[in-house]
Structure formats: C-alpha cells, structure tokens
Amino acid sequence: MTREEFRVLCTVCLGTFLFFNSFGSINVALPHIQREFAVSLAIVQWVSIAGVVLISTLSICFGRAGDILGRRKLYQSGIMLYALGAGLCAMSQSIVQLLIFRGVMALGLSIATPMSGAILASNFAPQRRGWALGWYAATSAVGRATGPTLGGIILHFFRWRVIFLMNLMVGLLVSAAVFLVLKGKDERYPDKFDFIGALALIVAYPSLLIGLTLGAKTHWAAPMIPVWFLAAAVGTASFVWIELHARKPLIEPSFFRNLPFSGALLSIVMFTAMHSPVGILGPLYMVNVLGYSSFFVGVIMTAMPVFTALASPASGKLADKFDSRYVAVLGLVFLVAGIWMYAHLGTRVHYLWVAVSLSLMGTGVGFFMPANQRTAFAAMEPENYGIVAAMLSSFNTGSGTLGITVAVVLLEHLMGARGVDSPELFASAQQFSFLAMLPLAGIAIVVLLLGDIRKIRKFLTI
C-alpha cells in the first residue's frame, strides 16, 4: 500500500466513523430533546427518521452526481454541509428549527456517504480493494457501536446540544483532513443528469420508508399510512417508466442485466432484512423476558458491531485473494448460525449464549459486507462507482427497515393483545419471526452466485 492510499483510507475512515457514530449518539438524545421542547414522541422521532429517509433517497441522486461532477469535490462539500448542520442544530430554539437543521446534516451525509466507498474503490487497485473496503466496514461498525455510549456519556455531564457541537468539531476536523489529503485531479465522467428520474425517486423511496417506519412505530394505526404507500406506488411506477425511456437515466437498466452486480445488490437486501430486526427485538427480549438491566443490554448488544469490526478486515483480505462471492457466502453461514442460535434461546438462558449468538451475527456481517461490496465494484466500470456505492448504501438501509417491519408485524400477530406480559409467548413469537426469515439466506446465496451456474450446482451438491 502506498503512502497516498494510506492517507486516503485514514481520511475516508475518519469521516465514516463520524457519520455512523452520529446516528447512535443523536438517537440517545431524543428523550432529552422531547422534554426540552415539550413535544410528543411522534414529533421528536422525526429527528431520527428524517435523517434515514433523506440519506436513503438522496444518496442515489448524489451518487450519480459524483460520477459526473467529481467524487472528491462532492465528498468535501458533503462533510462541510454536515458540520454546518450540526452547528445549527446545537443552536436550535424550537423543534421546527431542529428538524430543518437536522435535514441540513442529512443532506450533507447524503452527499458524502456514497462518495466514501466510491473514492476507496477508485483509489485502490483491485488486488487491494477488498482490504480497503474491509477497514471501511470495520470503521462503520465501530462508529455504530460507540455512538450510543458516547452520546450517553455526553448526556451524563452536559446537555443534548453538546452532542451536536461534538459533531460540528469532528466534522470540521474531517473537513480539514479531506482538504489536505484528497487533492489532485478529480475523476469526472461528464454526462447529463436525470433530474426527472431523480424527482420521481424522491417521491417514491421516502414515501415507502416513511410508511414502513410509521407503520412499525404506530402499530399501523396512523391514518396517513395508506397515503404514503399510494405515493410510493405512484412514484415507483413513474420512476421505472422514466428510467426505461430516458436517454441518460439515473440508474441504467443495463445494470440489472449484469448478473454479478444484480446478485450483489439483491443479496444485500436479503442479508440486511435478516439481521436488522435484532437491533429492535433484541433489547425488548433481554429486558422483558430475561430481565436484564438497560445498561447490561447495551453492553451485550455491542457484541454484534464489535465482531463486525474484527471480521471485516479479514473478509477484505480473503476477498482480494479468492472469489469474493464465496467470502460473502461465508458471511451468510455465520449469520444463519447466529440467528438460529438466537431464535432458540428461550426464557431462561445464560447471558453468554446471548452474546455468542450476537457475535456470530456480527461476524457474518463483517465477512459479508466488504466481500459483497467488492463483488459489486468489480462488476462495474469506474465511471459508475458513485452510483454503485449509492445503490448499495440505499438498498441496505431500505431493506433493513423492511426486515424490521416484517419481524415486528409477525411478532405482534402471534402475540395478540398480551404484549410482552408473557415472556414465554414473546420468546416463542420471536423465534418464529426470526426462523421465518432464514429462507432468505438460501435466496441470497443463489443470487450471489448467479454469474456462474456451474458454481451454483457445485455448491448445491456439497
């Protein structure tokens, strides 16, 4: 690895840590924000929801824009906008101002996030690309793991505004590093931008995510949920029609005829939908069924991102040496083992078994993500790296929301009106919810290996 590659990797990883750490730290502050502004939970939750929705949607638009205008330039602009939004959030005098300024932060993340993977993919040679993406995944896992802890420490000594001030200061630090390191000629592939397609996507994708998120949070009682789903259906149909007829579409339909890329994209949907529900149901299970304290639950839940961080660099190295699709399949095996073990824990179990099951899931995420990303980048031309990174990120977020929604719906349907008052019923319903998703692993393996039918047959005969 050259000195330039090392500096690029450190800079991008620093920004990635900031991005993912901020999600957890800000979520911890929501109850304090609610009390200060005296608003309902339904309103304050938009501080979190708005960020996820904007990033998931606009990332695809800015991914394509980065390919056209220059990824480094947009990455710098996104981080600076993120830092500006964080500083404005710290000075908010009302919940309306906070939501607007949180939108500015999310806009900055929407610009910078897809650029991170694209910059690494374009700056590292194919034989070292998996290694770089492995450290990128490890950094994001560390950010997720430390976000709630760091936010909790800050809230113990200071007000919630200090969390946003910290994001401002770290954002300025990353901006300075980017300015000093990411210099030189920027890769640009001038082309027309599909504004009409982007508009249809901005209608469709947020509507779907908002409908799913509100449904899961309000037990599908919110009157606006059908309206959101209708808007999502209309927007999606319009987007597909526009992309099929546009001269320069936002997402080239030919991308989906590329079997390795389509396999990587579809497999990440299955993979993320399988493991995302544990982030919601895991704490409920440990508190209401096993009787653990909130602090102890937080400690145990860190097992998953910690093992993701440990496994990711190894995954990147293996993906550089062997077929990255098989490394991703190894991640699926670890994930299935972890979910199977977690689903069978029951009502009386030692906490170590809970930690082991979460560790297996985290190891699966660590092996799958870098290898799958490497597969996707290897299947596409460099001029499309921005939109590739954006699609991977956006599909990952959307499928996580979908997986959580399906798991919660199954759980509530099986439990009926008894809620969490019956530990045995909760454990049984949770077991069914997770086991019902395991067939997705088989689908993910098949779509991952779509590029070579002979390899699929060989795998199935093992």
Architecture, CATH, for domain 255-462: Up-down Bundle (1.20)
- The model's pTM is 0.81
* pLDDT over 60 at 46, yes or no: yes
Amino acid (1-letter code) at residue 205: Y
* pLDDT tier for residue 187 given thresholds of 50, 70 and 90: low
Assign 362 a pLDDT band (cuts: 50, 70, 90).
Answer: very high
Is the CB of residue 427 less than 8 Å from the CB of residue 347? yes
Task: State the Cα–Cα distance between residues 94 and 117, nearest whole angstrom.
Answer: 36
Read off the pLDDT band of 265 (50, 70, 90): confident
Can you tell me the mean pLDDT for 166-183?
82
If one counts every other C-beta atom within 10 angstroms of the C-beta of residue 436, the result is: 13
CA distance 323 to 459: 14
Tens-place pLDDT, residues 110-141:
888 888 888 888 878 778 888 888 888 888 88
Which phi and psi (to 5°) does residue 91 adopt? -100, 10
With 80 as the cut, is the pLDDT of residue 280 above it?
no
pLDDT digits (tens, 9 = 90+) for 3-19: 777 888 888 888 888 87
**What is the per-residue pLDDT for 264?**
86
Quick one: pLDDT at residue 361? 92
Interatomic CA distance for residues 374 and 388, integer angstroms = 11
Q: pLDDT band at 248, cuts 50/70/90?
A: confident
Q: 254 in helix, strand or coil?
A: helix
pLDDT tens digit string along 374-406? 888 888 887 788 888 888 888 887 788 778 778
pLDDT of res. 140: 84
Residue type present at position 93? Q
CB 138 within 8 A of CB 369: no
User: Does 437 score more than 90 pLDDT?
Assistant: no
pLDDT tens digit string along 314-329? 998 898 888 888 899 9
| Residue 87 and residue 164 in contact, taking contact as beta carbons nearer than 8 Å | yes
pLDDT at residue number 188: 66
Sign of CA dihedral 118, 120, 125, 130: negative
Q: How much of the chain exceeds pLDDT 90, in percent?
A: 8
Does the pLDDT value for residue 363 go beyond 90? yes
Q: How far apart are the first and last CA of the chain?
A: 37
- Judge whether 183 and 76 are in contact, CB under 8 Å: no
Please state whether 338 falls in left (phi above 0), alpha (psi between -120 and 50) or beta.
alpha
Of 328 and 284, the structure prediction assigns the larger pLDDT to 328
Q: Was domain 1-191 assigned CATH 3.30.300.350?
A: no
**How much is the mean pLDDT over the chain?**
81
Under a CB-based contact definition with an 8 Å cutoff, are residues 273 and 400 in contact?
Answer: yes
* Residue 419 in this model has a pLDDT that exceeds 60: no
Average pLDDT rounded to a whole number, residues 210-220: 70
Task: Quickly state the pLDDT bin for 281 (edges 50, 70, 90).
Answer: confident
Q: Tell me what pLDDT residue 418 has.
A: 54
The predicted-structure confidence for 222-243, as pLDDT tens digits, reads as follows: 777 888 889 889 988 988 898 8
Confidence of residue 218 (pLDDT cuts 50, 70, 90): low
Predicted confidence (pLDDT) at residue 293 exceeds the cutoff of 90: no
